[in-house]
A and B are shown apart, each in its own frame.
Chain A
Amino acid sequence: MQVISLIVLLVWHTDPNPIFQASKKYGVTLNKLDLMKHIVYMFEIEDISRVTTHQLIRHRLASYDQESQRFSAASRETFVVPPSVSSKKESKELFEKTVNQVMEVFEKLVALGIPKEDARYIIPHSIKTKLVMTLSAASLQHIASLRTTPQAQWEIRSLVSKMYELAKQATPEIWNV
């Protein structure tokens, strides 16, 4: 089991140039917040725990499509182990042993003909998942203001920091106004 292997990719983003050209044509100066409402990013997020996606989707001004446990396969190799757990030999072994046992039960339930949508009730929260997420720069800024602070939980802080960095790299003119 890997400790942290989070992947965040920017799939597409709004090209701000047509907006700049139109605003120039009509002699309009857009303030930063107005501009941020009109710029959209779509992200692919992979190898994140369901613990964290539960927190993420509470941010409602975004669109999400996530790997379904009703249909997709679950395997024993796909769990996030928090650094605090993996830092101690005993806690790491206990965590991994238990997850493996639970997944054995999951596999047995499926073998007994229990539908995946029911067998999954036993899967731990730490299972890795994949999703796409689309949101505006304004929405991302709001989420970042809450989730990149030291008080935020480590996995979502790592995720949102990466999204924020990718958005800034892709459209520096939006973030550095």
Chain B
Amino acid sequence: MRISILWYTPSPEKIISLAMRRCYSTKPIEEILKELDQKGPEYWRHLLELAFRDKSFDVIEHFYLELLVEGLAKADVADLAINFPFMQFTEFKENLWLVLLNARTLIELWYDDNYKYIAESIVREMKNANVAPIFVSVAFAGD
């Protein structure tokens, strides 16, 4: 399976942190973003670790990845489309798909024996392309 990342949510760890702070803060977004910039990536990592500790995966739904996936059969796509509502597929040609998914779906694939190989390929490409390094190190620590 060959994966290329066409696009992903800019500053994903900051966006996940924004979603988390939104639940606990009464401040308008400008102030939350300013606070997140001031505190920096180590703070975003801290918030991500809390989210993963508490399995609060709703906040990582705001991080999206758009992929080109080669080597995915139509039968696999049918299974995935049924089981993962936040995954979208458009066929480019045989075995070549435009795939959209959010980070929660990526985690769900990772912990699903049937689909772990897909998550592994995506994470490998995220590491190669240095996409969301803090997210990858928190989400897949110990793997």
Tally of A-B Cβ pairs under 8 angstroms = 96
User: Scoring A residues 1 to 39 as 1 if CB is less than 8 Å from chain B, else 0, what string do you get?
Assistant: 000000101011011001100110010101000100110
Q: Is the CB of A65 within 8 A of B59?
A: yes
Number of interface residues of B (CB under 8 A): 32
Q: Which of A40-48, A108-116, A146-154, A157-165 is found at the contact surface with chain B? A: A40-48
Report A161 CB to chain B, min CB distance, Å.
Answer: 20
A131-B22, A134-B61 given; name 18 further pairs at CB < 8 Å.
A7-B28, A9-B29, A14-B7, A22-B68, A26-B92, A28-B92, A28-B93, A38-B90, A38-B98, A38-B100, A42-B62, A65-B20, A67-B25, A68-B23, A68-B24, A72-B25, A132-B22, A136-B100
Does A92 reach chain B (CB closer than 8 Å)? Answer: no
Q: Point out which of B7, B15, B92 has the most chain A C-beta atoms below 10 A from its C-beta.
A: B7
Q: Chain A contacts of B142 at CB under 8 A?
A: none
A19 to B61, CA, bound (A): 21
Would you list 15 pairs from A and B whose C-beta atoms are within 8 A, ordered by A residue?
A7-B28, A9-B29, A11-B18, A19-B6, A22-B92, A23-B92, A28-B92, A38-B90, A44-B22, A65-B19, A65-B22, A65-B58, A71-B23, A72-B24, A134-B62
User: Which chain B residues numbered 49 to 70 have a C-beta less than 8 Å away from chain A?
Assistant: 58-59, 61-62, 64, 66, 68
User: Scoring B residues 72 to 104 as 1 if CB is less than 8 Å from chain A, else 0, what string do you get?
Assistant: 000000000000011010101100101010100
Q: Among B15, B68, B86, B96, which residue has its beta carbon within 8 angstroms of that of A12?
A: B15
Does A66 reach chain B (CB closer than 8 Å)? Answer: yes
CB within 8 Å for A67 and B23 given contacts A14-B7, A42-B62, A61-B85: yes
* Contact count band on A: 35 or more
Q: Is the CB of A18 within 8 A of B29?
A: no
CB within 8 Å for A26 and B93 given contacts A11-B15, A18-B6, A38-B100: yes
Does A177 reach chain B (CB closer than 8 Å)? Answer: no
